[in-house]
């Protein structure tokens, strides 16, 4: 596997990196049984389709709620909303009843689509290209570059798994900022504000974002 | 702070100003050699390892500063109408000029980090945008010459020299930072090559850079607003975003088998 060096992070001593990759290679050689059901090609194909849809949405010329709705459909189609919701709720997910979990997931999906739909404006004019994919644990991380005119290109990583039963992405990392971590902080704070009451949190989520 | 002492020199016959300039040049040179010596001493250690988690022992006072910053931000940028990422041509040009003026400092830092490539690129960028780009109003280097800005600062230089991140800090008016980045900011003010300009020019450059930052705040208004005013805990959210993004800038992407979070295998969720 080639070492992913970007020109902006030239490291003077990358002994650790080299050792790390060596160790990873050794582990891969020793553990042939830990095969991934998902393949590199499938992970890339999923993100390629998602990115194509994103590019279509951007070039559609739609703005405001119409664009957010397109984004919401992309999200529903390609993301594993269940696991994102469960992870955002954190340990509280264990205490939630199945009915509460279902209601929370539903409300969370709307919240996330509104929130990221609004932020999506910053990607208007951007073009995404796929750089590559690499296996991590039981999932794949697909690296894309977003190119915005007149700005330094920036990196968006999509983590893809098939453990929901279908190939879906479950996390997005934009320039190091991790959606799962960010949403866990946010939902945790919302739950604290309601003193741990999940039903009230669900009510709040319906209008948040 | 230097702006104040410089302004006090009287330009009547020229000599005090020249003397002051020489003294400044000497002190600037001394500061630079101390920094270089420090750099050489630390450079052997290699960059600081990637920090993880949140180290925030000053959370109580940081939260007070955060509330203060939010009130400043809402007084300056929150109008009654709903915000949009509205940045007109003036704001865009102002942001360009401001970032163009930040380039000499970035070149210096890249050199201190032992990274000639971004130093050369930013130097070309500075000359192209200062001339063809009419003093940085436009960005032909980025649009026609594929020379986007490579961002850096003295905080990164300290990181390259092996200085650890330190505690999280929220600075008045500035926002999220760390002990290392706060120190870096102070040093950046001292070593900025623009400091060699005349006081008037320097004040103008400073004003333009501040204007550029304000224009940038407006360009990202939707996102900044959603974090500051749309989050249940805007302090925790901006702290997390800052630390994640900063570590990414300094260390690059680093999802490994060891540190990757896999929600499908999280025992806390089962």
From first CA to last CA, the distance across chain B in angstroms is 56
Chain B interface disruption, residue of A147, A148, A176, most B CBs within 10 A: A176
CB atoms within 10 A of CB A65: 11
Residues A60 and A57: their CA atoms lie apart, in Å, by 5
3-state helix vs strand vs coil in chain A, percent to 5: 55, 20, 25
Count helices and strands (H / E) in chain A: 8, 5
* Residue A10 in contact with partner chain B when CB distance is under 8 A: yes
User: Looking at residue A35, what is its pLDDT?
Assistant: 47
* Residue A64 in contact with partner chain B when CB distance is under 8 A: no
Assess contact for B122 and B103: CB atoms under 8 A: yes
* Residue A30 in contact with partner chain B when CB distance is under 8 A: no
Query: Of chain A residues 83-122, which have a CB less than 8 A from chain B?
Result: 83-84, 86-87, 90-91, 93-94, 115, 118-119, 121-122
Distance of CA B211 to the CA centre of its chain: 14
Residues A27 and A36: their CA atoms lie apart, in Å, by 14
Residues B31 and B27: their CA atoms lie apart, in Å, by 6
Residues A60 and B253: their CA atoms lie apart, in Å, by 32
Question: Whose CA is closest to A128, among A101, A98, A151, A148?
Answer: A148
Assess contact for B85 and B221: CB atoms under 8 A: yes
User: Looking at residue B5, what is its pLDDT?
Assistant: 37
SS3 state of residue B69: helix
Assess contact for A47 and A169: CB atoms under 8 A: yes
pLDDT tens per residue, chain A (209 residues)?
A: 444 433 333 333 344 444 444 444 444 444 433 445 688 888 889 999 988 888 888 778 787 778 777 877 888 899 999 999 999 999 999 889 999 999 999 899 888 878 877 776 666 677 888 998 999 888 999 999 988 766 678 888 999 999 988 899 999 998 888 999 999 999 999 999 999 999 999 999 988 87
Residue written as tokens 């330009």?
Answer: B11
SS3 state of residue B65: helix
Nearest-neighbour CA in chain A from B179: distance (Å): 20
pLDDT tens digits, one per residue of A128-146: 889 989 998 889 999 999 8
Residue A186: list chain B partners with CB under 8 A. Answer: 231-233, 237
CB contact under 8 A, B261 and A4: no
ipTM: 0.75
Residues B105 and B189: their CA atoms lie apart, in Å, by 9
User: Looking at residue B201, what is its pLDDT?
Assistant: 85
Q: Tell me the DSSP string of B94-162.
A: HHHHHHHHTHHHHHHHHHHTT-HHHHHHHHHHHHHHHHTTTTTTS-HHHHHS--------HHHHHHHTT
User: Looking at residue B161, what is its pLDDT?
Assistant: 94
- The structure's pTM equals 0.78
Low-confidence ranges of chain B (pLDDT < 70): 1-45, 79-87, 253-254
* Residue A36 in contact with partner chain B when CB distance is under 8 A: no
Strand order of the β-sheet with A168-174 is A127-136, A139-147, A154-161, A168-174, A177-178
Torsion, Cα A117 A123 A127 A128, to 10 degrees, reads -60
Nearest-neighbour CA in chain B from A180: distance (Å): 9
């Amino acid at each position: 596997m080639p070492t992913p060096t970007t020109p902006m992070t030239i490291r003077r001593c990358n002994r650790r990196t080299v050792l790390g990759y060596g160790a990873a290679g050794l582990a891969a050689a020793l553990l042939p049984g830990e095969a991934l059901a998902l393949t590199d090609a499938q992970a890339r194909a999923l993100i390629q389709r998602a990115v194509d849809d994103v590019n279509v949405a951007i070039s559609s010329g739609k703005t405001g709620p119409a664009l957010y709705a397109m984004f919401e459909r992309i999200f529903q189609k390609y993301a594993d909303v269940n696991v994102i919701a469960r992870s955002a709720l954190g340990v509280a997910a264990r205490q939630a009843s199945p009915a509460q979990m279902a209601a929370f997931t539903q409300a969370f999906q709307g919240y996330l689509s509104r929130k990221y739909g609004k932020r999506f404006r910053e990607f208007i004019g951007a073009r995404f290209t796929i750089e590559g994919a690499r296996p991590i644990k039981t999932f794949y991380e697909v690296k894309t570059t977003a190119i915005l005119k007149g700005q330094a290109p920036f990196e968006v990583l999509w983590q893809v798994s098939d453990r929901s039963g279908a190939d879906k992405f479950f996390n997005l990392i934009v320039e190091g900022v991790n959606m799962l971590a960010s949403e866990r902080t946010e939902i945790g704070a919302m739950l604290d504000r309601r003193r741990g009451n999940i039903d009230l949190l669900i009510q709040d989520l319906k209008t948040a974002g | 702070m230097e702006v104040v002492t410089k302004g006090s020199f009287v330009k009547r016959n020229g000599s005090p100003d020249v003397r002051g300039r020489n003294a400044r040049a000497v002190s600037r040179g001394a500061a630079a050699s101390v920094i270089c010596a420090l750099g050489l001493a630390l450079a052997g250690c290699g960059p600081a390892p990637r920090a993880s988690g949140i180290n925030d022992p000053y959370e109580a006072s940081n939260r007070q500063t955060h509330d203060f910053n939010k009130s400043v931000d809402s007084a300056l940028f929150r109008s009654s109408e709903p915000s949009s990422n509205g940045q007109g041509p003036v704001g865009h040009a102002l942001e360009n000029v401001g970032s163009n003026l930040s380039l000499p400092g970035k070149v210096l830092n890249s050199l201190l980090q032992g990274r000639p490539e971004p130093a050369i690129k930013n130097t070309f960028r500075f000359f192209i945008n200062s001339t063809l780009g009419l003093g940085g109003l436009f960005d032909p280097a980025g649009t026609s010459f594929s020379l986007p800005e490579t961002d850096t600062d003295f905080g990164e230089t300290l990181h390259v020299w092996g200085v650890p991140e330190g505690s999280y800090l929220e600075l008045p008016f500035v926002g999220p930072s760390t002990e290392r980045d706060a120190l870096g900011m102070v040093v950046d003010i001292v070593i900025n090559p623009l400091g060699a300009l005349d006081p008037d020019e320097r004040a103008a450059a400073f004003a333009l850079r501040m204007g550029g930052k304000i224009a940038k705040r407006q360009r990202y208004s939707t996102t900044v607003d959603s974090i500051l005013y749309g989050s249940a805990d805007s302090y925790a959210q901006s702290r997390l975003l800052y630390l994640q993004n900063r570590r990414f800038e300094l260390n690059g992407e680093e999802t490994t088998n060891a540190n990757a979070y896999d929600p499908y295998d999280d025992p806390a969720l089962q």
